Amino acid sequence: MKFCSSCGHPVEQRVPAGDNRPRYVCPSCETIHYQNPRIVAGTVPVWEGQILLCRRAIEPRYGYWTLPAGFMENSETTEEAATRETLEEAEATVSLEGLYTIIHVPHIDQVHMFYRAQLIDGRYGAGEESLETQLFNPADIPWERISFPTVRRTLEHFIEDLPRQEYPMRISDIRYKLKPGA
């Protein structure tokens, strides 16, 4: 961040009074600009025992398979974001069956949340951000072409829980050690 979004003055990074970490602060109007993690919300959409995946038409990981998910927008709930992203990326309407995974990704300031979901009518297609969509039997998931660690972990949990038909909430972290000086 270089300029204050309130007054346009250049900002500086410092620890504001009463805080414990550096923030962007405008020395002109004293606005503190907090930066917080971004939430990615999505679904594990299922139809007749198969999981719907999307092949990405955008970077990062162009051409790799993913669950339908994306960044939450202001003024929506995580449920609304997951449902919207599924409709946008997979042209599928779903019924949510509960929050399934929460995966913290602190090195990129994100939290990924996936809901279990059933396709309402079995229809799906490729939205703007997808090259194609496809239903996969659990044994046929293209593991070597899965886009992100959060998607892989969610799918692994789902397949592990599938035989029991019990889907406990899964909360975990994905951490990468940064190289010195990074």
38-173 belongs to which CATH class? Answer: alpha beta
Query: For the segment 84-129, what is each residue's pLDDT rounded down to a tens digit?
Result: 999 999 999 999 999 999 999 999 999 999 999 999 999 999 999 9
Q: What's the rounded mean pLDDT across residues 130-146?
A: 98
Tokens 């003055």 map to which residue? 9
Tokens 């970490």 map to which residue? 21
- 1-35 and 38-173 share one fold: no
The predicted model scores a pTM of 0.89
The residue ranges of every structural domain in the chain are 1-35, 38-173
1-35 belongs to which CATH class? Answer: mainly beta
Query: Nearest-CA neighbor of 158 among 131, 146, 61?
Result: 146
Q: Distance (Å, rounded) from C-alpha 175 to C-alpha 35?
A: 19
For the chain, the average pLDDT equals: 95
| β 23-25/12-14 pair status | antiparallel
